Amino acid sequence: MTEIKILIQKGTENLRDGNFETALSFIDQALLLEPENPDLWNQKGIALRSLGRYDEASDCYNKSLQLDPRDRASS
């Protein structure tokens, strides 16, 4: 498994388990490797929102939409 996949997996697991600070750390590391990944920006937004950091979360959601503006649910 590649480093990026391990970071994403650990970030996702920690998000699911409610360990938002730890999840944020893994997601930030993954973003250093793939800064243009909209899914990572969305996950970072989820972690930040869960920590009550709403303005930062909003910025992450907006970055995700800038990178991939498509509405996947309707495609």
- Please report the sign of the dihedral spanned by the C-alpha atoms of residue 7, residue 31, residue 71, residue 45: positive
Task: Tell me, yes or no, whether 74 lies in a domain.
Answer: no
List the domain range (segments joined by +) for residue 54: 3-67
What does the pLDDT look like over 57-66, one tens digit per residue?
Answer: 999 999 999 9
Tell me: pLDDT of 74 over 60: no
Cα–Cα distances (Å) from 6 to 13, 59, 68, in that order, read 10, 25, 23
- Strand intervals (E) in 1-75: none
Task: Tell me, yes or no, whether 63 lies in a domain.
Answer: yes
What does the pLDDT look like over 2-37, one tens digit per residue?
Answer: 999 999 999 999 999 999 999 999 999 999 999 999
Task: Tell me, yes or no, whether 51 lies in a domain.
Answer: yes
| Percentage of the residues of the chain whose pLDDT score is greater than 90 | 89
Task: Tell me, yes or no, whether 48 lies in a domain.
Answer: yes
Tell me: pLDDT of 75 over 80: no
Task: Tell me, yes or no, whether 75 lies in a domain.
Answer: no
What is the tally of structural domains in the chain?
1
Indicate yes or no: pTM above 0.85.
Answer: yes
Task: Tell me, yes or no, whether 72 lies in a domain.
Answer: no
What CATH number corresponds to the domain at position 9?
1.25.40.10
